[in-house]
């Protein structure tokens, strides 16, 4: 059974008391069973209060983040790597406190425009850090590294690279997080890439080519649904979308969200859920 989720930035740029109440309640009202809580700075997120809201509205949560240059675990500088590990440890605490089961996103490197190829030392630091993180996470939490486009990572741009990376780390609770928006830029074919990931696929982002409403851009969605069905995917499929209508000061800039692609998060989320459910069930998968 595929579980449908929605990214918190569809509702709010921050996670203060009113923002998180709005985000969790709206996710439930739009028919989702999962909300992905983005935590660029886990130390600033009240996970206990979030857990209470999740219980109240009957939702499950996942947690995602993108590391920053000063917390880049693929840095050559051990002090920078150590700061990155502190952030990741904090994120794991947030996942546990929210009773979640997935930590995903660009957690293997800084989410930024890299202007040089990654060095062997930087790659080794990323591999060692993911091995450490998976050990910290233990059996109950899946760690999923997101494959993103070349302007946001110089480590994992394709599924093929992610498979090799995951193999190198060698942890059973490490998986691949794919995102149609990024795949549409880097992969030769979306269905082929999903099939290549196979049972290592641990999380999936439904993101349109312009990061707006799904079905209104150039992502070949039938390939996505057919690929997920071909591997018998039974994890979470989360709708991720960004607009200048909802801004997080650092994250929105790191992702180059300069344009308004929508204003009404509720109309967007309801339509996106219907779009995903129709595509997935049409391909033969069951959704919750
Ligand atoms: Mn994504």
Catalytic-role residue among 36, 187, 208, 240: 240
**What percent of the chain is predicted at pLDDT more than 90?**
97
pTM over 0.95: yes
Task: Identify the band that residue 9 occupies on the pLDDT scale cut at 50, 70 and 90.
Answer: very high
**In angstroms, rounded to a whole number, what is the distance separating the alpha carbons of residues 81 and 187?**
29
pLDDT digits 0-9 by tens, 24-43: 999 999 999 999 999 999 99
Q: Tell me how far the alpha carbon of residue 63 lies from the centroid of ligand 1, in angstroms.
A: 12
Give me the percent of the chain exceeding a pLDDT of 70.
100
Decide: helix, strand or coil at residue 50. helix
Tell me how far apart the alpha carbons of residues 231 and 237 are, in angstroms, rounded to a whole number: 14
Mean per-residue pLDDT, 10-19: 96
86 is catalytic: no
pLDDT recorded at residue 249? 85
135 a catalytic residue: no
- List, for residues 131-141, the tens digit of each pLDDT value: 999 999 998 99
SS3 271: helix
Using the structure block, give the residue that is written with the tokens 């739009």: 30
Closest CA to 164 of 125, 205, 200: 200
Q: What is the pLDDT of residues 156-188, one digit of tens each?
A: 999 999 999 999 999 999 999 999 999 999 999
The kind and range of the H/E element at 204 are strand 201-206
Q: Which member of 36, 146, 152, 223 is catalytic?
A: 146
| Residue 207 alpha carbon to ligand 1 centre in Å | 7
Rounded to 5, what percent of the chain is helix, strand, coil?
45, 15, 35
């Amino acid at each position: 059974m595929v579980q449908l989720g929605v990214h918190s930035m569809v509702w709010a740029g921050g996670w203060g008391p009113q923002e998180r109440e709005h985000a969790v309640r709206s996710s439930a009202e739009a028919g989702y069973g999962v909300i992905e809580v983005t935590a660029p700075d886990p130390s600033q997120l009240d996970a206990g209060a979030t857990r209470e809201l999740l219980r109240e509205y009957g939702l499950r949560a996942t947690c995602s983040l993108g590391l920053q240059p000063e917390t880049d675990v693929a840095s050559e500088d051990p002090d920078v790597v150590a700061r990155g590990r502190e952030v990741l440890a904090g994120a794991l605490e947030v996942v546990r406190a929210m009773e979640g089961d997935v930590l995903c996103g660009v957690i293997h490197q800084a989410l930024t425009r890299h202007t040089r190829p990654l060095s062997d030392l930087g790659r080794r630091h990323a591999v060692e850090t993911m091995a450490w993180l998976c050990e910290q996470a233990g059996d109950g939490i899946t760690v999923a590294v997101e494959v993103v486009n070349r302007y946001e990572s110089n480590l994992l741009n394709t599924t093929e690279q992610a498979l090799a990376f995951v193999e190198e780390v060698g942890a059973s609770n490490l998986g691949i997080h794919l995102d149609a928006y990024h795949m549409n830029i880097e992969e030769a074919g979306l269905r082929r890439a999903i099939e290549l990931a196979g049972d290592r696929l641990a999380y999936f982002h439904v993101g349109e080519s312009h990061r707006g409403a799904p079905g209104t851009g150039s992502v070949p969605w039938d390939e996505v649904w057919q690929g997920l069905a071909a591997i018998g995917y039974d994890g979470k499929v989360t709708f991720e979308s960004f607009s200048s209508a909802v801004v997080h000061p650092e994250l929105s800039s790191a992702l180059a969200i300069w344009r308004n692609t929508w204003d009404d998060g509720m109309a967007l989320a309801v339509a996106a859920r219907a779009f995903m459910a129709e595509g997935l069930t049409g391909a033969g998968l069951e959704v919750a």
